[in-house]
Chains A and B, each alone.
Chain A
Amino acid sequence: MFLRRTCKEVAALLIAREDRELPLSERLALRLHLVACDACPKFARQMLTLRHAMGQWRHYAGPDDSPE
């Protein structure tokens, strides 16, 4: 099926969207997979945590470092 993706492919999409906008067809395939899969939503949450972590680190790394 043209919308069917493996977990490995979905993980690649979840990583890729940190750096580029996904085409509509890939976004659709991603959503379809995420509602049907156990593992990938967990991976998606990990990627969100990573994004959040990098944001915190960036803050820590300046230039908007908190006053000391």
Chain B
Amino acid sequence: MPIENQLAEHRAYLLRFARLQLRNEAWAEDAVSEVFLAALAKPQSFANRSQLKTWLVGILKHKVVDILRQRSREVHLDEDGSGDGGEELDALVFKADGHFASQPADWGDPEQELRSRQFFAVLEACVEKLPAAQGRVFLMREWLELSCEDICKELGLTSTNLYVQLHRARLRLRECLDLNWFGRPATT
């Protein structure tokens, strides 16, 4: 199969993660285009489809970090944390005296479910619902696997600010999954 066709096969997949991480359609398109340029400039032979995909995802992660760095000013313009509903979320989860408003549910031991496509779809929908700034830093941790130190450096954030963003993102994600996955009526 010509390389163009092979790349086309992976386009939708790469775009999905670029969008999720960058939260900007044009940047995501740019990132994937750059990945394809890199692939065409340095055609290598890949033993199979999955090897090419692995290589493409690796390049995509690098391109995405480049874009986040270049756009860091725009990336954290909306990032002072006010007006992102953080206080409302706290009030939903905790009472004024610091106790849980309701007992955290038993999520069981969902070993198998955590590997299902359905679960990943819900998880990605929940990540997508995070405020953009929170979603970006959360995925920089969880998808790009950057250290907090590196994220602060790339985006020019203080560690205090980053920890607040990550705290809210994780608490919100827990709420979203509790509501849309773990707390859903049992299906067979």
Contacts and interface: CB of A to CB of B under 8 A. Distances in A.
Interface of A: 6-9, 11-12, 15-16, 18-20, 38-39, 42-43, 45-47, 49-50, 52-54, 56-58, 60-68
B1 to A, nearest CB: 14
Given A6-B97, A53-B123, A63-B58, A46 B145 contact: no
A57 B113 CA distance: 11
Contacts of A18: 166, 170
The B contact surface, by secondary structure, is helix
A20 B148 CA distance: 8
Cβ-closest 8 pairs across A and B: A6-B98, A62-B57, A42-B104, A63-B57, A8-B98, A63-B54, A8-B94, A43-B104
A57 B107 contact: no
Interface of B: 17, 48-50, 53-55, 57-58, 61, 90, 93-94, 97-100, 103-107, 110, 114-115, 119-120, 123-124, 141-143, 145, 148, 163, 166-167, 170-171, 173-174, 177-178
Contacts of A42: 103-106
Contacts of B61: 63
Nearest to B59: A63
The A contact surface, by secondary structure, is helix
Contacts of A45: 106-107
A57 B120 contact: yes
Nearest to B97: A6
Contacts of B177: 50, 53
Contact of A67 (B17, B50, B167): B50
Given A8-B94, A58-B142, A68-B49, A19 B163 contact: yes
B49 to A, nearest CB: 6
Contacts of A9: 98
A16 B53 contact: no
A7 B94 contact: yes
Nearest to B141: A19
Contacts of A46: 104-105, 107, 174, 178
